[in-house]
A and B are shown apart, each in its own frame.
Chain A
Amino acid sequence: MNKVLVLAELNGNDLDNGVFELLSLLNNLNVSNDEITVCVLGDNLQDKDGILKQIPCSKILAHSNIDTNNLNPNILSKLASSMIEDLQPNKILISKTNLGQDLAPRLAFKFGWGLVNDCLNIEKNENNDWTGIRPIFGGNFMSKINIKTPTEIYCVRPKVFDSLTDKTISPEIEYKQFTNDLETKTKVLKRINEQSEGIKLEDADIVIAGGRGLGGPEPFETLDEIAGLLNAAVGASRAVCDAGWMDHSYQIGLTGKNISPNLYLTVAISGASQHMAGCGNSKHIVSIDKNVEANIFNDAEFGAIGDWKNILPGFLDTLKDLVKE
């Protein structure tokens, strides 16, 4: 019997999707509901019953009276630690969000437990022991990791698993008062939203992204135009963002955004593994590049080989016709 603690993140009234994905992973592993406790991190949770009840699990633990200073990890690691001390889990699952990727190592080192960071899947052997699978070297290799400490922590990459939707269970919520000192030297002063207007990159059904081969910022106007016609969001490779052609908030990849649209259309992106780490879960990848040997064609379903300067006009003109129809 496992004792699994799943961390869920509530930002204002916004429940991060990670918890649904983690529960789906646990479901794949045949972990039963009574082995799972979902612990919620967020501000003043006492009024959030309605939101928390959406989580398909049987037990939720939440601290009611907390001001987390905008999900400040320095504060939340104290809060999460107290929940861990209460529950004494042998497995902890965290989604690799802004917060999760900071929190997981903190908890690991605080308690001296092993962590599989950026975990893509968990396998179970005949003894019911778990093995975490994680990419290394920018995704060029995969590794399998066994954790040797009594409690194991897995920080799971988002958007790899579909959300668990089980309307038949409804959680029992236990609220606790947190009394320990939450003061930290580090404070979040503000958040500046740099998201471009229109569809959010993470949520878009279609994403069109440009790479270094575009040669400068101007061609992104054409990508914008195509995006407008397709109701798509625009993204970019790190080479583009480092060159300053696009803001870093457009970057897709290991150190950028993690997306999984239905259609991912790339123009002049070579498909380095660090780039694919952020978009490899797209349902369909379609690529325009002049180099037939480019890595991107290992992942792409359809490819158009040639100079984008000539291919894009044909593509755009046809799109306009199709939209008219």
Chain B
Amino acid sequence: MKILVCVKEVIDPEVPVSSIDIDSNGWKFVPKQGVSTVLNGFDENAIEAALQLKESIGDVEISVLSLGKDFSMDVIKKPLSMGCQNLFLVKDDILETSDSFVIVNVLYETINKIGPFDLILCGRHASDWDNAQVPIGLAEKLNLDCVTLAKSIECNNNNITIERVISGGIEVLKSELPVLITVSNEYGEPRYPNLRGIMTAGKIQPQFFSLEDLGISANDINNINEITDIYIPEKNSNCEFIKGEDEYDIGRNLALKLRDKNLI
């Protein structure tokens, strides 16, 4: 069985806003000096899901695909050190400011070249633009069924059972390969690479593609959404801090305040 996991390298979502600049020329995030990038968290969940399928089924080859302007090899090779077999990277400056529509088209062309795959896994969304569109768009383009927000995946021959997170609980679905699934953090913690994994990964060379290799010309790259502004939302930080003789008293005064304001 061949699994493809699509991953994206993103600015560490835990860093404060002040460590990111906005470049209004093409509208992009520019991390300040020393701010690190990471693998999108949900993509690590998707890698974990692929690895668990490999462990339970046995005969599985996991490929990883990422598009971007630049890659930090430490970050993008992490899936290999976690236990994946192949890494495909499509590199072009234009991909930095491409919208989901373009990303889907490029993923599609790449998959036509390196595929087909029985199962495609993606993260539920990328933590930089929070789009949550690429996987669903890719499924539509590949004419595959799509199941989002998986918290568990079981595969038995061609049959696949998925538990997905919905707002009131869990939905259980069945489907058949080939299918595209997005994975959520409810799947559980991704594993840490071990030393053997890191050494194996060191020996695997990523395979690079340019847009030209994929038969895509600059004219084919057209965003359909235009960003006209990016700004930091205003906050009204005029919080009233409750006073008291000690912390117990602060708690007491808080309750009295809420009653006074008719909030409880």
Contact = CB atoms under 8 A, between A and B. Distances in A.
Interface of A: 70, 72-74, 97-98, 101-102, 105-106, 108-110, 112-118, 131, 134-149, 184-195, 202, 206, 230, 238, 242, 248-249, 254-255, 257, 262-263, 274, 284, 286-288, 292, 297-307, 310-319, 322
30 contacts: A74-B145, A102-B136, A105-B100, A109-B104, A116-B225, A131-B228, A134-B130, A137-B11, A137-B17, A141-B233, A142-B231, A144-B228, A149-B224, A184-B145, A185-B145, A187-B174, A188-B172, A193-B168, A238-B185, A242-B189, A255-B185, A263-B264, A298-B236, A298-B239, A304-B241, A306-B247, A313-B248, A314-B250, A314-B252, A322-B264
A251 B73 CA distance: 34
B184 interface: yes
Interface of B: 11, 13, 17, 20, 22, 27, 29, 100-101, 104, 124-125, 127-133, 136-137, 139-141, 145-148, 151, 161, 165-176, 179, 184-186, 189, 223-233, 235-237, 239-242, 244, 246-259, 261, 263-264
Contacts, number: 247
A210 to B, nearest CB: 15
A315 to B, nearest CB: 4
B60 to A, nearest CB: 21
A149 B252 CA distance: 57
A300 B185 CA distance: 28
A1 B247 CA distance: 61
A144 B229 contact: yes
Contact of A284 (B166, B167, B263): B263
Nearest to B189: A242
A187 B171 CA distance: 10
Contact of B225 (A146, A248, A263): A146
A247 to B, nearest CB: 9
Given A147-B224, A148-B224, A255-B184, A299 B235 contact: yes
Given A143-B227, A146-B225, A137 B254 contact: no
4 smallest CB-CB distances across A and B, nearest first, come from A314-B251, A310-B247, A194-B169, A315-B251
Q: Does more than half of chain B's interface fall in helix, strand or loop, or is it mixed?
A: mixed
Nearest to B248: A314
Contact of B250 (A106, A255, A311): A311
Contacts of B29: 137
Contacts of B232: 140-142
A142 B230 contact: yes
Contacts of B179: 185-186
A117 B145 contact: no
A259 to B, nearest CB: 11
A191 B240 contact: no
A109 B229 CA distance: 24
Contact of B247 (A190, A255, A307): A307
Given A141-B22, A311-B250, A105 B136 contact: yes
A148 to B, nearest CB: 5
Contacts of B161: 189
A138 B226 CA distance: 20
A185 B251 contact: no
A251 B155 CA distance: 28
A136 B128 contact: yes
B124 A255 contact: yes
Nearest to A243: B189
Contacts of B145: 74, 184-186
B122 to A, nearest CB: 12
A120 to B, nearest CB: 9
B173 A145 contact: no
Contact of B170 (A146, A192, A242): A192
A186 B255 CA distance: 51
Given A143-B230, A311-B251, 5 more contacts: A115-B133, A137-B13, A263-B264, A304-B250, A311-B250
Nearest to A277: B130
A119 to B, nearest CB: 12
B167 A318 contact: no
Contacts of A262: 263
A249 B184 CA distance: 13
B130 A118 contact: yes
Given A185-B145, A284-B263, A144 B251 contact: no
A274 to B, nearest CB: 7
